[in-house]
Each structure stands twice: as structure tokens, then as C-alpha cells.
Chain A
Amino acid sequence: MKNPTIFLVFAAFVLAASFQPASAEGGNLLIKNGTILTVTQGIIAKGDILILNGIIRQIGENINPPAGVKVIEASGKFVLPGIIDSHTHIALAGTNEGSEAITPEADVGAVINADDTAILTALSGGVTMAHTMHGSANPIGGPNVVLKMKWGKPSEDLVVTEALRTLKFALGENVKQSSRTILPGGPPPRYPQTRMGVNAIMRREFLRAQNYMAAWDRYNKLKASKIPPKILLPPRRDLRLEVLADLLRGKMVARCHDYQATEALEFIGLAKEFGFKIAAFEHAWEAYKIADELAGEKIGISVFADSWAYKMEAAEGIAYDAGYCAKKGVLVSINSDSGERIRRLFNDASKTMKYGGLSENEALSLITINPAIQLGVDRIVGSLEVGKQADIAIFNEHPMSAYARCDMTIIDGDAYFDRAALLREREEAAKKAEVAKKGGRP
């Protein structure tokens, strides 16, 4: 920023868009006297959490603040793990490489947009982490990325490198419809236009990936042999096939957009045939029909709470999908798939208490520890435990209450959203603007 004056004027205009976290305390905080919902280790009715260097160091009662550590008074409030959205598309410059059906080279991690105000929206709903994904226009989309909602930080600081590498797949209508020419003069029709075509093109690509791996194995073997051939050129390096090869080698896991039970079972068949792992089906409106199969294969689902039947292939969705599958032992998460609903994930999760009979803690798990397990980050986040990263939300009420509201969102021990501070700032800016209007100097 050029000079302090400009910064002040600027701050007055962009209340929401402060460049720094609401309170950067270098990752040191003591949260006192809150009701602590650890998710994995029960509830502490009135307790403290000590955070040093962004890590939870102590959870208990009557913890004294070390010198220089800021104290956040949370009496009467609920302290929970930062909410994790297992499926969204925020903070990206572009969602689909829709020109072709098979695009595993198109990596959303390459097009992160840390300026997206949806990050702020997410923070206002207690969300600290999101799995931001390639769209569902293609049978094989591209690699996804897991981000922390560190508003104001450079994009590379948002990336969660500890997370599983995931690859987006999609089945059904989105893929089929994306292959049609809708407007005259639009792109020519694309293969595949049927569900059987979707399965077939995936098989074709996996076979190509197997050939690719074999070609490289042959080359490496020859190169390492005692008397390598005089003329030996490496095979073409193909970014598209390299990603698929990584999936087949187990270095990545599949996340597959799916509505109908039948196509999910077919995809599970492909995974078995080619030996790759499916971490979760996305949306999975008919998962309740195949809950036993999913639980048996240890495949999770990431679903909406109750907004089914918005298109024909979602017609057999039911509000009990998430709750029923969770009771059947399927690893379930509730997702937003949106830059707006992302701030109301706690409302959506709570619906599983009515539809499916989950307990408060089970419902809260659907947006904390469960998505953390799906993303392979449960070692570092997803619950309030000593040693985990201090991604924490503070609510006025129990988050599964209809009256719940997020008051503060903390990532790595720094507050990135502070409702009270923002409201104060907004009032002050309004006053300044009023003075300026009357011709005075702010």
C-alpha cells in the first residue's frame, strides 16, 4: 500500500476485504471458558484451549495464559473444530475444461484465485477448509485441491499439502449433456452421449494409461540394463496419462460425481478392474440403495442434506440419504457445492438429526472429522485434539441449533473472521463516510 492515508480510505471502502487476518497473533491464542465440542473426545462443558504456533497445545480447565498470548473469552459460547467442506468450487479461475471428455491434465490447483470473496463467505460460516474441485462436465475431469480459507494470504499459503491427491470423475447427465451441442454454432457434439459411453471411454483411458506405464517401465529397464541400446529415446511424456497412471499407482484417489446407484456400482467395477481407490461418491442421491456395498468397499459419500429432485436423475433422492448411510457405516460428509451455501453447512448437517435420527455429535461429524478423513487430513484437523492444527470455529449456540451463528473463525491459531470486530469496523467506516460527506476531514 502506497501510504497509510490511502490504506485508511481503502479500508473504509472495503470493509469485508481486509488484507490481513482479522487478528494475526502469530498463531498464539488462549480460548477461555467455552463449551468445547471436540467431536472425537467428548464435550467439555466449560474449558480452555491453548494454541501455540498454530497448534493446539492444551485442552482443559483453568489454563493460565503464557506471557504475550492473547485471550479470547468464550463463556456461553460453543467452540468446535473448523468446518470442512468436502466438495465445492470456490477460489478458482475456471471450473471445467469442458472442450474434451477426458482432461486429467487440467489441474484446478494451477488456477487458484485467492481473491475470491467466497473465501470470506465461507469464513463467516465457520468453514476453515474446503475441497475445491474440477467440475462435472467430463467423465474424467482433473485433479482437485484442498485449501484453507486464509483470506488475504497469497494463494500458495492456502494449499493443504498434507491432503490426499484427488481426481475428479463424473457420471450421468452432466457428462452426457455437456457432450451435446445446445446452441447452433456451438462446439460440435462430443463423445460420449450415453451412460454406457461414459463407462466405455473411462475403460479406454485406463487401458491407455496401463500401456503408458508399461512403455515407461520398458524404457527405464532398458536404460538401466548393463548394455543399453545405442539409440534409446524415452516415450513421450503425456500429462494426461501421467495423472491417470498416478491414480493406478495408488498415488491419487478418485472422487466421483454420481447420482444413480447403478452407475455407481459400474464405477466400483472399474475401480476393481484397474485397481484404484474411490475415496467418495459426490451427491450420491441413491447411496441409500447401495449402503451395504459402499460400507463394504470403504467408499464414502459427500452429499447435500435435503435438496433433491432438482432434476430427473435426482428424483429418487431422499432426505434420509445421509443419516441412513451414516448409520449403515458409510463415511458421510455434507457438502455445499456452492460459494453461498458454504456458510450454512452447519444448518444442513443438523437436518440429519430430524431425517435419519443422528445425534448432535454425529451430525457435527458430517462437516468436521468425516470430511477430514475423506480428504486424508484427519491427522491434522477435523477435531479438537492436542497436537492438531488450530482450525477452530466459535459459535453463539450449539452449531446444530437452528439459532446458531458463527462469531469467530480461527485458522492455524489466527482469527480470520471476527464478527464483532467487523461490525465495529463497519460502524466506524459509516461514521467516517458521514463526516466526509459533510465536507469535514475524517
Chain B
Amino acid sequence: MPKSARPLIMLTILALGALAWTSPADVGPTYAIRNAKIVPVAGPVVEKGILIIRDGLIESVGPSDKIAIPEDAEVIEAAGMAAYPGLISAHTHLLLEEPAAPAGGAQQVPSITLPGAAQPNTPAGTPDVLAFGLLKPKKSTLDSFLRAGFTTVLVAPNRGIIQGQSVVVDLNGEDPEPMVVKNPAALHINFTTNRGGYPSSLMGTIAYIRQSFLDAEGYALAQAVYAKNLKGMKRPVFNPFLEALRPYVRDKKPVVFQCNNVEDIKRALKIVDEFKLNAMLSHVNEAWRDASVLKKTPIPLLVTLDFRPPSGSLFVNQGEDLRKKAEAEIYPANPSNLAKEGIAFALTTFGLNDGSTALKNIQSAIKAGLSPEQALRALTIQPAQYLGLAAQLGSLEPGKIANVILAKGEIFDEKTQIDKVFVDGILWKF
């Protein structure tokens, strides 16, 4: 074989390999959306523009006179409509089908259970559970959220205290694998209790979380020392529970705390500080009551659009009139109160099971004082940044994933309807 032929062969092999990833069947359609008002979020609004989608990505976007429509594009006439980036919900329990019995994996931190103690019916912690493995998308759920403009959601496991690791998916179909944008996305912790086992109280739960992180730190240290002393050191015992926690204490991968009331926020902040975690606080629908504390921390907030007051709240235990007021006015003002304090946040649909309620609640938040622009950012670029996906998602920019919605009017107006939704560059069929 002549010497010069070898690189050519190598190149051919490489090309064949690449083909396996982008075979012609995988090439997505090309669309040209024209005459639309374009709200890119990342830049100024284009009153009359063109947006080109090619093979799942945004190819170009700009004013009508600056962008040429490619010959192979399917033209979508969008006069009177506005194009927005698809909305992102950075914390949900959607699309899960969990086994009747709790998922397997490690049980509790083994040494915390004493002999003779009550054995838990359900594990308090399953950090090794991946939400990806529990995905079971249903068309009805997808339709409901796509109709409201949501194209990307984070799905977290929803059982136990240390619940497991979440996945970020595009709502592009019912097959889990092509949906995945990021896996695992974060570790999820909820301030709840373990019925019928340890910990059965919130104070026990806090101790349980702290002990788990302490053990994970000890485990990570032992593994690190072992890596340097492979010869001459007895290997540390493998522990799947602690192994799953290791990236979160050692590599500072994100940990999301579900904070169900004003006090949970403080509880989470203490734990975050103790273990120097890279944290986000979710739910937080009483965040405005902690504004003075939250102002001083850069920790991202994933604020729910679920405005039902937490049980035991000051606003629910003093009569029906106040409870109604709380639900209609006080809690919907949480996002706007945070905005007024200059506290950054993303909005999520956490706790809501359908898209129309989410949309209605966005309108309530706007009625309570949040500007539509703030709401839009909190559902697009802000969650994209928090999830480490700002390069791919959150705005209409060339090169980003083509999650695009076309609305007949301003997106959050009560009368506005979402007309078309593109997910990963494909027009969704309702």
C-alpha cells in the first residue's frame, strides 16, 4: 500500500463512522418561518423577521430583508404571529411511571440504622435512582405542556428524601432516548419524612441528609486516598449509595433542594453552607418571606407556579377567607416580590400536572406585578443558564436547538393561543 493512501483510508473510516450518527434518515426538515414578530429573548425584538430551522437547529434568524429563504425550506407563513424560544420548566415530576414498589438500589446509609430499630417500608434515600430509567412519556401530557409552549422539562424522581438524579428532556416524542438533553442533571432532595421508618420526623430528616453527606465526604476521601495508595492500602468497601452521592460532594455537581415553606429555605441554606454544595432551591413559593436572606446568596431559585400555600402556613390556619386570599393574591405575588427585590429566579411548573394551569398561573403572577418580559426570561434563558444549557437552549439564536413556539399574539396574554410548536426542529402534531 502506498504511503499516501493511508490517510485517505483513515478518512474514509472516519466518514463512515460519522455517517452512522447522521445517516440521511436522521436529517430533520428545513423550515422557514416568515413575517413573524421574533422575540429572541437574547437580543432585541424583530418586528418582521425570518427564522430558519434546519435539521433540529436554528440556522439563522433576523429581519425579513436580511435573511434569504433556502430553496429546500418548507415555508411557514406567520404574519400576525410571534416566535418565542420554547419554554423550559426546570423542575417537574412529569412523564414518570414509577414501579408500585419503590425502585431498588441502595437502602439507607447502612450504619445509621441500629439493630432493633424499625425497618423502613420505603427507602429514605435512593441517590442512585435515575429519572431517565423511569421515563414513560404519554402523548396527553406532552400535548398539554406543548400547547402551553413548554418544550423542555427537567424530570426528577419523586420518592423519598434523597430522591435520585434528574434528566432534562425535550418534549419531542414518546421515545425517551432521543428526548434526553442532559443526564444526569442534578441530585434531588426533599424535606419530607419516611412513613413507617427512619426518619419519621423533619428533624430526623435533616440529620439524615447531613449524615448522608458526611458519609459521602468520608467515602470520597477514602477513595481519593486509595487512588494514591493502590499498593499498600486496603481498598475501601464499595457502597452504591455513597458512590452515587460522590460527584455531588466531590465534583460539586448541582443539588436541588425542594423547599416547601419559608423554613425549608433556611434549612437548605444551612446544609448547602455546611457541605459547600453547588445548590439550587426549588418550589420556594414562600421565597418572598426570606427575601432579605436570599438577596445575599447567588444560589439559583427554581420558583414554582403552583400558588397553593403550604400546609400549616400562617395563611391557611386562620380561616377560609384568608386562605382564599392567599391563593388568589398573596402567593401569586411571590415571583413579582422577588423581582422587586432584585433576586434572580427561574419559574417552574413544579406541582402542576397540566400546561393550561401553568399558563393561567403565569398570568396570575403577571397580574400580581411580574412583567411579561421577566416572566419570559424566567421560563427561557434563566432556567437554561441554571441547568448549564445556555449554549443550547433558552433563546432564538443561530446554532441553538430549534425549540420554537409561534403564538397568535403576546405569549402570556389571556386570549393568546399557541399556534405551532417546533421541538428539536420538528413541527409537533397535536
Contacts and interface: CB of A to CB of B under 8 A. Distances in A.
Contacts of A10: 322, 325, 330
B117 A13 contact: no
A107 interface: yes
B211 A188 contact: no
Contact of A2 (B200, B218, B369): B369
B321 interface: yes
Given A98-B200, A239-B211, A13 B118 contact: no
A96 B206 CA distance: 13
Interface in A105-152: 105-108, 110-115, 117, 134, 142
Contact of B201 (A97, A101, A117, A156): A97
A238 B238 CA distance: 19
B266 A231 contact: no
A224 interface: no
Interface string B239-268: 000000000000000000000001100110
B42 interface: no
A299 B330 CA distance: 50
B210 to A, nearest CB: 6
Q: Which size class do B's interface residues fall under?
A: 35 or more
Interface string B147-166: 00000000000000000000
B202 interface: yes
A355 interface: no
A335 interface: no
Interface stretch (B10-18, B225-233, B353-361, B373-381): B225-233
A95 interface: yes
B318 to A, nearest CB: 5
Nearest to B116: A191
Contacts of B120: 99
B131 to A, nearest CB: 27
Contact of A239 (B202, B214, B319): B214
Contacts of B206: 107, 110-111
B140 interface: no
B207 A106 contact: yes
B114 to A, nearest CB: 6
A6 interface: yes
Interface in B183-214: 193-194, 196-204, 206-207, 210-211, 214
Given A154-B290, A239-B210, 13 more contacts: A9-B325, A10-B322, A14-B318, A14-B322, A97-B204, A100-B198, A101-B117, A106-B203, A113-B263, A187-B196, A190-B118, A238-B211, A240-B112
Interface of B: 111-114, 116-120, 193-194, 196-204, 206-207, 210-211, 214-215, 218, 221-222, 225, 229, 232-233, 262-263, 266-267, 270, 289-290, 312-314, 317-319, 321-322, 325, 329-330, 333, 336-337, 368-369
